[in-house]
């Protein structure tokens, strides 16, 4: 074969080899670029993941730095006024609302007796033992000779306050029952003689304050209506020489001109205000329950008339029978209830517009 043909064939072979090498190198370069890009992406993802994990670790560290619930509570207690840091076993019940600010522990957790100024641990307040010389450390128990103020009070009325010996005696005196916080009934249902039987409620007590407030609202309506009915009572006493004997401006004088009948299963009563009160048991003898009248209260809408000088038969120490008439605001004149509260002592509730 001629030399030029042989050279031409070698040239084509070399050219093909060169082209193949170029294609291979190009493919390698392209593959390297793709792999490099993928590697960079994976690396970036790894970095991002690491940074995210790092943030989580920082958050975990920051959580460690955050105060726990206990620390938060301690911080709140440190920021709260000292008087809020009360021992949970201490209950300052029975305190006069006007004195409540005086029943807070000082910085040393001591209580200062209100009058004697003696200092005692605050945990000894209402612990059922008299520590203060003035008994002011026991407003909510019957341990000392003091006063108990009911927790709930009726708006626009005088504060309801009891002798301390009525605390936890089993009888509900406060409308919310706060005086009977032990919720223990009296032994054998004993009722103190100085309290009207019909009004007694035993422990455990109900909270009747809201009902009482509602009743007071209804009473206010009756008061307004009753005042409109007072004109005949005022006219009746217009020329009376001694008006004061019959209440303000003689407003109750008209009642003294009439007797009112009240009947029970056993007795028939005649209530003649300012004149006489009698009890009749047919066919037995009628007894006088009072015939001499004296005002015991006629201020602030509280009208109490005492009728003394009644019969002494079967009464202790020969003392005559006596009646106490409580005049209540009402839309007509009538005896609401009459009962013997104590031996030979009678309580009468009387409704009349004159008391409005």
* pLDDT-derived band at 218, boundaries 50, 70, 90: confident
Distance CA 151, CA 174 (A): 8
Examine the pLDDT at 130 and tell me if it is beyond 80: yes
Q: Which residue has the tokens 């201490």?
A: 90
Q: What is the separation of C-alpha 20 from the centre of its chain, rounded to a whole number of angstroms?
A: 100
Contacts of 133-142 with CB under 8 Å at 24 or more apart are: 137/111, 137/113, 138/164, 139/92, 139/93, 139/94, 139/95, 139/96, 139/103, 140/91, 140/92, 140/93, 140/94, 140/95, 140/167, 140/181, 141/94, 141/167, 141/168, 142/166, 142/167, 142/168, 142/169
Which region holds residue 201: left if phi is over 0, alpha if psi is between -120 and 50, else beta?
A: beta
User: Which pLDDT score is estimated for 188?
Assistant: 67
- Contact of 306 with 320, CB cutoff 8 Å: no
User: Which pLDDT score is estimated for 3?
Assistant: 46
* pLDDT-derived band at 227, boundaries 50, 70, 90: very high
Distance CA 34, CA 28 (A): 10
Q: What's the CA angle centered on 71, arms 66 and 73, to 5 degrees?
A: 125
Highest mean pLDDT among 2-16, 66-80, 108-122: 108-122
* pLDDT-derived band at 217, boundaries 50, 70, 90: confident
What is the rounded average pLDDT of the residues 229-246?
A: 93
Average pLDDT, the chain: 80
Write down the pTM of the prediction.
0.48
Distance CA 221, CA 256 (A): 26
Examine the pLDDT at 189 and tell me if it is beyond 70: no
Examine the pLDDT at 333 and tell me if it is beyond 90: yes
Name the residue among 299, 338, 332 with its Cα closest to residue 222.
332
What is the rounded average pLDDT of the residues 41-63?
A: 44
User: Which pLDDT score is estimated for 32?
Assistant: 52
- Assigned token pair, 100: 């409540």
pLDDT digits (tens, 9 = 90+) for 55-113: 443 344 444 344 443 344 344 333 333 333 334 444 589 999 889 889 999 999 999 99
Question: What are the beta bridge partners of residue 324?
Answer: 306, 347
End-to-end alpha-carbon separation of the chain, Å?
151
What is the rounded average pLDDT of the residues 27-43?
A: 53
Distance CA 221, CA 333 (A): 17
Could you give the percent of the chain with pLDDT greater than 90? 53
């Amino acid at each position: 074969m001629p030399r030029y043909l042989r050279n031409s064939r070698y040239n084509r072979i070399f050219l093909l080899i060169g082209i193949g090498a170029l294609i291979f190198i190009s493919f390698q370069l392209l593959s390297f670029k793709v792999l490099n890009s993928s590697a960079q992406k994976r690396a970036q993802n790894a970095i991002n993941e690491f940074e995210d994990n790092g943030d989580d670790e920082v958050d975990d560290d920051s959580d460690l730095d955050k105060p726990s619930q206990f620390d938060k509570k301690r911080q709140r207690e440190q920021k709260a006024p000292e008087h809020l840091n009360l021992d949970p076993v201490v209950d300052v019940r029975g305190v006069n609302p006007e004195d409540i600010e005086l029943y807070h522990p000082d910085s040393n957790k001591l209580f200062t007796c209100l009058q004697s100024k003696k200092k005692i641990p605050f945990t000894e307040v209402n612990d059922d033992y008299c520590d203060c010389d003035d008994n002011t450390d026991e407003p909510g128990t019957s341990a000392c000779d003091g006063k108990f103020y009911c927790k709930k009070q009726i708006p626009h009325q005088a504060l309801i306050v009891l002798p301390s010996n009525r605390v936890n005696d089993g009888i509900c005196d406060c409308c919310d029952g706060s005086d009977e916080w032990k919720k223990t009934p009296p032994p054998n249902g004993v009722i103190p003689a100085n309290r009207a039987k019909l009004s007694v409620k035993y422990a455990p007590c109900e909270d009747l304050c809201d009902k009482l407030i509602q009743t007071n609202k209804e009473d206010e309506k009756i008061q307004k209506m009753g005042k409109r009915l007072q004109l005949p009572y005022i006219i009746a006493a217009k020329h009376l020489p001694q008006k004061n004997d019959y209440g303000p401006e003689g407003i109750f004088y008209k009642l003294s001109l009439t007797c009112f009948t009240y009947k029970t299963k056993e007795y028939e009563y005649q209530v003649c205000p300012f004149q006489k009160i009698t009890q009749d048991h047919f066919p037995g003898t009628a007894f006088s329950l009072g015939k001499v009248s004296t005002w015991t209260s006629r201020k602030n809408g509280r009208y109490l008339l005492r009728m003394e000088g009644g019969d002494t038969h079967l009464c202790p120490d020969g003392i005559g029978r006596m009646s106490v008439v409580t005049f209540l605001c009402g839309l007509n004149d009538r005896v609401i209830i009459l009962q013997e509260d104590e031996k030979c002592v009678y309580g009468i509730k009387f409704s009349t517009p004159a008391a409005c």
